[in-house]
Structure 1
Amino acid sequence: MTELEDLTTRLVSIQSHEDPTAAGDAIESWLRAETNAAITRDDAGNVIARRGNGRSLALVGHHDVVPPADSQVEGEEYVVEERDGRLYGRGTADMKGSVAAMLLAFRDADPAGELVFASFVGEEEGGVGARAAIEDGFAPDYAIVGEGSMGYSAPGVLDVAVAHKGRRGSTLLATGESAHASEPEKGENAVYRASDAVDVVRDLAVPETTVMGSTMAGSLAVTGIEGGTAWNVIPDACEVTIDERTVPGERASLERTEDVPGVEWRVDQDLPPMRCDDEGFASRVVEAADAVQSGVAEPVTKPHATDAGWLADAGTTTVVCGAAEPGEAHTAGESVALDVLDRVRRCYERVASNWSGREG
């Protein structure tokens, strides 16, 4: 078993869907044993390590996971199995495998500038740890976030995501006045008001943008509607849920729904999109990915929101590069290829070792 496989197996085996503390403890202990970096553990539970001086490059991951399937748990640990060159288990792809690769690259690289390692909590809960770290002053100049970027340009190719979509989840709250359904004119039907607001949503333009040659289009969808209390009562309340995938720049003009009488628009979650603002940095990571594989890496866009959005929103130049393949994360058969883990480790180390501290 290689050092990378062993470290990944150890991290994956630790339960961290309800409480990521033990996984953070293991990461912190490894850093203290294997490096002479300055290590901090903030109140949120994030593990952050730094070494060197100059402009900073951060390798960023997260050690929380989504709840496992029953087959992925045995006693107090997650089940981790190696079969045919792949590691299976909750968190192998998303994203303790990439965290392990980042730890080894952080230890082994010899950059001229400052190198930072960060593993956050609460990524699966909307970026809780990333936001806490940023509020506490975490502000690297550049970052590679280890979410999946495998297989976007072609199967088996490690790509580099230079942008990703965000997600804004919102609710339309329509109010009316109840009445007996035999005399509907004496009430104000909240479902009708909600329907009028849905018509507004249907007609809204969805923004799109181009990032380094790749076009990203947002999306907008009504995903649920609930209203009414009985078949013979005019409803006085109705709620409509909306899923919006956002792109860097403009948003869909959902505030127009409030032009409908009795309708209020409420934003429930807003995960920011990401766009790398330095083509030179993106090219450097793409070149590193090229150097560690036979396939040709491409700058690509990613449909899912990640902690990279919070970092980019706070001013960090960010790309996404990691071992997860499409369709692996959050599944009962979640797995990661060991050769891909090695590939991303060498990519991270290559970028970090060539870091001069004078970028920008």
Structure 2
Amino acid sequence: MTAHDIGSLDVRLMRTLLLLLTECSVSRTADFLGQAQPTVSLTLKRLRDMFNDPLLVRSGSALVPTDRGLALREALEGILHQIDSSLGERARFDPKTAETKFRIVATNCLGTVFLPPLVSSLAELAPHISLDVSPMPDEHDLLSGLADGTIDAVIGNWPRPPQHLRLSPILTTDIVCLVRPNHRFAGRRGRITLADYLKENHLSPTSERHAHLSPIDGRLIELGKKRRIRATVPEYAIAPYVLAQSDLVFTTGRHFAEQVAQTFPFAVLDAPEELGRMHFYMLWHDRKHHSPAQIWLRGMIKTVAARMRALEDMVLPPLPPSPLDEALICGHEPMPSGKAI
């Protein structure tokens, strides 16, 4: 069989050949296809020429497949099944039985607030699905991960999300400042003014080279302003420990701040009005848009976000205490393991 012959073997011809090799009858094949018997006979002749093999031969009063015909029948069953399953009607996604892994990239400040109810919901509704949540990579890796499908969805809050991605708003929260109890802002009433805010030294989870991606620094850039960032941390979870031993100001969303303030004796103050509010949204690529599994995942994220919006006044559980927390809360310097204070 030449390359030209292979190119001429379309799906219709493959289905006809499979019927002929299965039914071993030209007349029955014609009945199945709703074609005239001479038409099917001509197709069989064409196929014999293409494969340079009789395919079906006489054995008494019946037709039987040749060795080449038997091999083709087995191969065609697999090929046509693959075509039907791949191009046929999309299979339904059943979260109760599905076994897959979703990878989400999420901004750190939602970690202790948003992820616990999301993981809990997934465990209840989709017991065989696993969730891989990663911190925000650099912009190039994020966009390439979405484009190549290794990232399913992103929960972000930077000021200008890429316009070529799909977007769905999920949460909006007040922006507040956290300071330790003896900071000069701790006892003040009312909102911090922008002028006072810019005079302070700040702690940030975003490095200066990525300032444009920060919901705080990105907004200040729009205003033609810049704050003094004296330290950055790679994880939100580290911020309370740094803040407890410094006079830095940490600016974040109210959800995270209120939760931290239940464990650490921090003051929570309204940030300058010019910073606006913090907007969280979900991003995904067009390649994932029509996938039933991905549609279900995005629906779960939206459902958890809707519950949070409905329970904005809810008191969130405090962060789990640790020996380091207790030392800092009591005003002691943490001691090395094994030493008495």
TM bucket normalised to smaller: under 0.3
Compare the two structures and name the one with the higher helix fraction. 2
Compare the two structures and name the one with the higher strand fraction. 1
Larger Rg: 2
Larger RCO: 1 or 2 (CA < 8 Å, sep 6+):
1
TM-score, scaled relative to structure 1:
0.22
TM-score, scaled relative to structure 2:
0.23
